[in-house]
Amino acid sequence: MEFQNFLKFDEVKKEELSVVFRQYYDFKSQYRDFVLLFRIGEFFETYFDDAQVFSNILGATLTKRKFNSQGNVLMAGIPHKSLNMAIQKLLKNNYKIAVVNQTGEKDENGKFTRKITRIYTKGTVFETLFLNSKENNYLASIYELENELELCYTDISTGDVYITKGNIDEIKNELARINPSELLISKENSIMPEIYSIYKFELLDKSFLSPSNLANSPSFNLIFNYSNYILDKYKIEFGEIKFYNVKNLMSIDFFTRKNLEITKNILNNSEYGSLIWALDKCKTPMGKRKLASIITSPLFNKKKIEQRQNAIQILLENKDKLLELSELIATTGDALRLTSKISNSLINEDDFLILKECLININQINKILKNLKIELFDEFKFNSHALIDFAETLDKTFEINTNGNCIKKGANAELDLLFDQNEKIKNKIINYETELKEKTKLNSLKILEKRGSFLIELPINKQAPQGADFRLVKKTKTIQKYTTDKLIELEEKLSSTNYKIETLKENIISKLTNHAKELNNDIRSYAKKIALLDCLISFAEISREYNLTKPTITNSTFKIEKGSHITLEAIIKNYEKLDFNFDFSNLILLTGKNGSGKSTLLKQIAITVILAQSGLFVPAKNIEMPLFDKLFAVLNISDDFISKKSTHQMQIKQVAYFANNMTEKSLILLDEIGKNTAYKDGISILFGVIKYLIQTKNPKTIITTHFLNIYNLLEPYRDKIDFIEILNENNKRKTIRGLSSNSCGIETLKEENIPDEIINFSYEAYRL
């Protein structure tokens, strides 16, 4: 297909278009940077560049349509029933979508009128169909103030809003932590592209800075106005707006998060093998999201850390109550994401059942938690009595039966009567089929329903029934279809009853929805309490399963006795624990043979610190540690094809970052600095880094290296360095003081299927 011969949108003359395509032209002119899905009959069609996108993302057939006398345009389309699937895939690929539907009304020319029925962007969707139940879907914004940046982010599906301020690096790290689906930037600012270019972002003009009455915050104004613009016909109900200090969190940069595989593994970017995967025993989707939030946001606040520790300790000491609480929340669905549906009157029978399961055990859960006296739950304020009463109403109204979710028998007398009438009519249709079979002697005769219409069906090879009442409706190569006056009468009665049932059910749902709206803030607060409880139960269960230890927070001492990596414990049975009982007052230089586990030990220490500062228990016999304000882990370096930086350049970039941002309270873990360049260059860079660390902030630092000659260069500074060797002999690992005598890198050739010639040639050079 010669695509270059097709019309471009800017070449089209509106006055030459038909009425339908003038409608399209007007909508597309308004939403130029959206994929416009235009409803024509039973299909949604796309044209011009949108058609190319549709074809690439959905695999839809790319074809053409005569647009006007000027010529053809590219076209691709899907059946209207596939709309949600299309939206899901387009959002996943960061496209914005505008959906144009037929209204059912016709204009003076007899053509269907159309209107935009919904606009979708990745950060503003709230329907569970388009969201990952385990992850928050954040819409974020940043605004440049006089001396700092302000960051605001919200999950529209739950209504949570958070606002903080910080310097460029602090805000970049917060963006790395929350990983927003969409980022809003004001054109009024001069924010550097390196902050936002890796995210799906929107540049907004000053009209989106119009003040709201909810918060005195320009970054929140961007979110408030943009979300109202996108979700024009929907109500956005923001919950409590929380201002927080970014300095109360341990700062972790983008590369460190990636290197430590906190949420995704490096191999294939899946959850398996990540820290969150190892810790997740949550029963509810909202608990899983809360777990991710806790693990990705280690604290730099001793009081809050100890609050979480105490909560886990109490649950561990009350095993029976822990089990009871676990069972009580096991059936709870995602009530937190229902709050956005409640505010928009989109909640249905299935949703009310989820809400019922969440609220039905309020009394029991509150009673247990009150007796346990867990301080963390004191912050959640809601009207328990109102929610309990509502739960009882829902319990009287809804149930699950073999036919799916429905309104209970006995919930409404009029509805019960209609259900009975409905069942009687259906039985009459069944009896009528039996009667016809007996009368016609045709056992192959069937009465079948399609889209509310009933017809008598017979194979084409059967003799048509006799009688004036038997009327042929349709005939195909295989089937003949008939109707009768009696069948039409039964069908009309059933249709009338069904209409009354649906109308009455809508009224019941509407009243319950209005009631839920009045309680929505209470529902949101209680759902958050359940989410946190779910997390703490998960942490307690993990602590018991792996015999984890509560860390002791110190002023300076840092010791780990018999520690291990929690993720490896989850993957490898009887994973060996390793002592690292050394004083971190000195910089530690870690050496050892290839395969001894140096890099793994660095990751293990980092993950242990993250767990500890998240307020959780850790895999160790004993741990004493100070609080770290920042964590830097330069590991797993690879080149960056997009920025055209080599592996060595990327490593130096990360070295520059920690060197310019560390404090005396930071933890720095460096794996083989300088290994990706020439030996002399590499060992010189390593020496420079070590000397700088010792002579400046002197943070807690561990560095692994195979540059054994560094020992000689460091002679003037040996009193400030602990040389530690990690041994791995007979599959037993241990750490001792000293310097490894040999890296044995060349011996690893024997461990793989390397040709003997390569091994021999390598040793030949090695002995020179």
Question: Can you read off the two tokens belonging to residue 27?
Answer: 């909508």
| Cβ-contact 628, 667 below 8 angstroms | yes
Q: So what's the pLDDT on residue 79?
A: 94
pLDDT(2) > 60: no
Does 565 share its domain with 678? yes
Asked if residue 606 is part of any domain, the answer here is yes
Does 313 share its domain with 168? no
Mind giving me the DSSP string for 56-85?
A: HHH-PPPEEEEEETTEEEEEEEEEGGGHHH
The per-residue pLDDT for range 493-524, each reduced to its tens digit, is: 999 999 999 999 999 999 999 999 999 999 99
Distance (Å, whole) CA 597 – CA 605: 12
Q: So what's the pLDDT on residue 701?
A: 94
| Cβ-contact 524, 332 below 8 angstroms | no
Does 190 share its domain with 330? no
Does 176 share its domain with 317? no
Does 334 share its domain with 429? no
Distance (Å, whole) CA 613 – CA 598: 23
The per-residue pLDDT for range 124-172, each reduced to its tens digit, is: 999 989 999 999 999 999 999 988 999 999 999 999 999 999 999 999 9
Q: So what's the pLDDT on residue 391?
A: 94
Q: So what's the pLDDT on residue 742?
A: 72
Q: So what's the pLDDT on residue 396?
A: 92
Question: Which of 9-18, 106-115, 185-194 shows the lowest per-residue confidence on average (mean pLDDT)?
Answer: 106-115
Q: So what's the pLDDT on residue 614?
A: 97
Classify the C-alpha dihedral 376-382-385-390 as positive or negative. negative
Does 176 share its domain with 99? no
Write down the pTM of the prediction. 0.89
| Number of helical H runs and strand E runs in the chain | 24, 29
| Cβ-contact 223, 142 below 8 angstroms | no
Q: Which helix (H) or strand (E) holds 623?
A: strand 620-625
- Which CATH number do you get for residue 458? 1.10.1420.10
Does 633 share its domain with 656? yes
Distance (Å, whole) CA 137 – CA 264: 16
| Cβ-contact 141, 188 below 8 angstroms | no
Higher pLDDT, 189 or 582: 189
Q: So what's the pLDDT on residue 76?
A: 93
The per-residue pLDDT for range 334-383, each reduced to its tens digit, is: 999 999 999 999 999 889 999 999 999 999 999 999 999 999 999 899 99
Domain span at residue 661 reads 551-763
Distance (Å, whole) CA 360 – CA 328: 9
Question: Which of 46-50, 143-147, 157-161, 441-445 shows the lowest per-residue confidence on average (mean pLDDT)?
Answer: 441-445
Distance (Å, whole) CA 656 – CA 510: 59
Does 501 share its domain with 556? no
Annotate 506-539 with three-state secondary structure.
Answer: HHHHHHHHHHHHHCHHHHHHHHHHHHHHHHHHHH
pLDDT(438) > 90: no
Q: So what's the pLDDT on residue 4?
A: 57
Please state whether 610 falls in left (phi above 0), alpha (psi between -120 and 50) or beta: alpha
Does 537 share its domain with 452? no
| Cβ-contact 190, 270 below 8 angstroms | no
- Counting the structural domains of the chain, the total is 5
Report residue 331's pLDDT band, with 50, 70 and 90 as the boundaries.
Answer: confident
Pairing status of strand 667-671 against strand 630-634: parallel
Gyration radius from the chain CA atoms: 33
- Which CATH number do you get for residue 158? 3.30.420.110
pLDDT(219) > 70: yes
- Which CATH number do you get for residue 624? 3.40.50.300
